[in-house]
């Protein structure tokens, strides 16, 4: 079975591809020649995931799943939330986003936060939603060189290392995206045509 993962993010694609069973061929937006700026104008993480998946399914008539992730920081009233990728502006710079978040959080003692990923799967005329959450805290400075996005400033619960310091194999077991993806994969494994 071939399914489109609606992303151009090669790091994200590799993370998910490593989890997908071998009988499922994952292709990216680049692979299908989709270079459109797909709208993300919903007011929820789930809404954005649905919007992206629907766009690809309607335009290319292909089975597709899309994810959207938000980082919700308690002391910032849930910021950056759905604006995580463009928190510091439309240039979508991870460095700028992290710098703004650390600046806004300042010396606050409340550094609790959580990542939430929603995956919308469009398959054979049906839509299915899978959600993963990981709790943790925001560090006071960037730590680690791996990962992407906010990984260098997020330490997951029960760990002393940031996502950017943890091995990918560990991150792929505990992350918000991994949890949502595992639900997706469990569903696909049980699917009669998979």
Active site residues: 68
Helix and strand totals (H; E) in the chain? 5, 7
Is residue 188 a contact partner of residue 194, using CB atoms and an 8 Å limit?
A: yes
Token representation of residue 42: 């919903």
d(C-alpha 83, C-alpha 70), whole Å: 7
Crossing angle, helix 10-17 and helix 176-189, to 10 degrees? 50
Strands 25-28 and 2-5: parallel
Is residue 76 a contact partner of residue 40, using CB atoms and an 8 Å limit?
A: no
d(C-alpha 26, C-alpha 32), whole Å: 11
Residues 6+ apart with CB under 8 A from 124: 63
């Amino acid at each position: 079975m071939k399914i489109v993962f609606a992303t151009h993010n090669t790091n994200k694609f590799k993370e998910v591809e490593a989890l997908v069973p071998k009988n499922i061929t994952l292709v990216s937006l680049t692979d299908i020649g989709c270079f459109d700026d797909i709208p993300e104008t919903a007011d929820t993480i789930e809404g954005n995931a649905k919007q992206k998946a629907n766009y690809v399914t309607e335009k290319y008539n292909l089975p597709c799943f899309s994810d959207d992730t938000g980082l919700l920081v308690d002391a910032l009233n849930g910021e950056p939330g759905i604006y995580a990728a463009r928190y510091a502006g439309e240039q979508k710079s991870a460095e700028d986003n992290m710098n703004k978040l650390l600046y806004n959080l300042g010396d606050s003692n409340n550094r609790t936060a959580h990542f939430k990923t929603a995956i919308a799967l469009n398959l054979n005329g049906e839509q299915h939603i899978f959600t993963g959450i990981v709790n943790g805290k925001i560090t006071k400075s960037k730590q680690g060189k791996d990962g992407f996005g906010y990984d260098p400033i997020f330490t997951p619960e029960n760990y002393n290392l940031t996502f950017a310091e943890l091995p990918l194999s560990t991150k792929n077991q505990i992350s918000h995206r991994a949890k949502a993806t595992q639900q997706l994969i469990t569903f696909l494994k049980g699917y009669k045509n998979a």
